Chains A and B, each alone.
Chain A
Amino acid sequence: MSEEQIKSLEAQFEARIARDEKIEPKDWMPEKYRQTHIRQMSQHAHSEIIGMLPEGNWITRAPSLRRKVALLAKVQDEGGHGLYLYSATETLGITRDELFEQLHTGKAKYSSIFNYPALTWADMGAIGWLVDGAAIINQVALCGTSYGPYARAMVRICKEESFHQRQGYEILVTLTKGTPEQKEMAQDALNRFWWPSLMMFGPTDAESPHTAQSMKWKLKRKTNDELRQQFIDQTVPQAELIGLKVPDPDLKWNEDKKGYDFGEIDWDEFWQVVKGHGPCNKERMKARIAAHENGQWVRDAAMAHAEKQINKKINKAV
């Protein structure tokens, strides 16, 4: 294709997105659109399955059967969400094995929040309430994204996600009504997860080089800072309601902007964790790779069995 033809195809493509048309897998798309989507969608998929690890650790230690079935169902959902997203990413012409390899070699990233440890039962509450809460805000914005398979996966995920946040908040509600030690445990979880949750929305708009392009492709419908503000405004009253204090001395209602002003985020910490120096980066990757490698014989055996069944059928037919 000549450069001119590509230019004209690109112009048509941008016009389709501007008209709110969806792009489907076999449609022509600019190579950069494909690559950007593979990067963001796979990062999203990886976050779902790495996100299973901190919570999975607590399933056997859940304090009641009610909590255990809820946590089990939530972690199973995350696995399901990972699968929706991997499948959607594969429609862009990359294989599951390649995606896993990118994750295992560190070429692909996942959300930094999962590199923080889940130290107490209250962390299950804080993760559901804050981490899933932040994820929902990001994901609702993505339901209208231009790439059809991604948008459809997002709609399904959003439907399932709200139970996650509610079960988390309920855990904290219960703890704050408990003994002073239990209340302190809830406060401690909020103290540790507040700032990393704010970082989930990514760098400030000024520091986010991809934002303009992503907005144009509707891969982002709102900027990082807008989403972060929305999260803070909706979450602070929820903390106050159960008597927890948001660990930010600069947090203050601003009547003019009808939102909260908040303190400076520690971006050095953010970049350290992104670059692999968070508290649990190594542990998470080790657990993930071990799970994948230890499961290899199962995948091979299933494949061998399937092939044997096919051969049996063929032999019978002869």
Chain B
Amino acid sequence: MKATKKEWPLWEVFVRSKNGLEHRHFGSLHAADAEMALENARDVYTRRNEGVSIWVVESKNITASNPDHNGEMFEPAQDKVYRHPTFYDLPDEIKHM
């Protein structure tokens, strides 16, 4: 094998399936630049009308939370039941609230 050449960078692909819905992560692909990433995303992820809009972002630009820190990150929300409507006692007569 030849010396390792420079690999095309990795891009994350987000697709809006139809207007009214949010863009959703569909997967990733390699491309030399953003324009090519869009074209490849069209060919790889929307061959059967799966989308009306595509976002691509280079993977290295995404900052992700670390699942090892999920405790301090997400647990504080667990004991805050007062943030949910069911926490509050109302008279039975009250219907729509």
Closest chain B residue to A152, Cβ basis: B27
Closest chain A residue to B13, Cβ basis: A87
> Chain A nearest CB: distance from B35 CB in Å?
9
Is A300 within 8 A of B5, CB to CB?
A: yes
Is A305 within 8 A of B33, CB to CB?
A: yes
Could you say which of B30, B32, B43 has the most chain A C-beta atoms within 10 Å of its C-beta? B32
How many residues of chain B get a CB closer than 8 Å to chain A's CBs?
22
- Cα A310 to Cα B32 in complex, Å, equals 11
Interface of B is mostly: loop
- Cα A76 to Cα B6 in complex, Å, equals 26
Interface residues of A in 279-318 (CB under 8 A from B): 296, 299-300, 302-303, 305-306, 309-310
Is A96 an interface residue, CB under 8 A from the partner? Answer: yes
Q: What are the interface flags for B1-45 relative to A under an 8 Å C-beta threshold, 1 for contact and 0 otherwise? A: 100111110100000000000000001111011001000000110
- Cα A97 to Cα B1 in complex, Å, equals 11
Stretch touching chain B among A22-30, A31-39, A252-260, A266-274: A22-30
- Could you say which residues of chain A place their CB within 8 Å of the CB of B44? 80, 83-84
> Chain B nearest CB: distance from A227 CB in Å?
26
- Cα A300 to Cα B43 in complex, Å, equals 21
Is B47 within 8 A of A80, CB to CB?
A: yes
Identify which of A95, A101, A153 contacts B1 (C-beta below 8 A): A101
Known interface pairs A24-B67, A160-B48, A302-B36. Does A80 touch B43 (Cβ–Cβ under 8 Å)?
A: yes
Interface residues of B in 33-82 (CB under 8 A from A): 33, 36, 43-44, 47-48, 64, 66-68
Is B27 within 8 A of A153, CB to CB?
A: yes
Is B47 within 8 A of A77, CB to CB?
A: yes
Is A306 within 8 A of B33, CB to CB?
A: yes
Interface of A is mostly: helix
Is A90 an interface residue, CB under 8 A from the partner? Answer: yes
> Chain B nearest CB: distance from A144 CB in Å?
19
Is A97 within 8 A of B4, CB to CB?
A: yes
> Chain B nearest CB: distance from A86 CB in Å?
9
- Cα A81 to Cα B84 in complex, Å, equals 43
A-B contact pairs, 28 of them (CB 8 A): A26-B64, A26-B66, A26-B67, A76-B43, A80-B44, A83-B44, A84-B27, A84-B44, A87-B10, A87-B28, A88-B27, A90-B10, A90-B28, A95-B7, A96-B7, A97-B5, A97-B7, A153-B27, A160-B48, A299-B8, A299-B32, A302-B32, A302-B33, A302-B36, A303-B6, A303-B8, A305-B32, A306-B32
Instruction: Give 5 nearest A-B pairs by CB, closest first.
Output: A306-B33, A302-B32, A306-B32, A87-B28, A27-B67
A interface, CB within 8 angstroms of B:
24, 26-28, 73, 76-77, 80, 83-84, 87-88, 90, 95-97, 101, 104-105, 152-153, 156, 160, 296, 299-300, 302-303, 305-306, 309-310
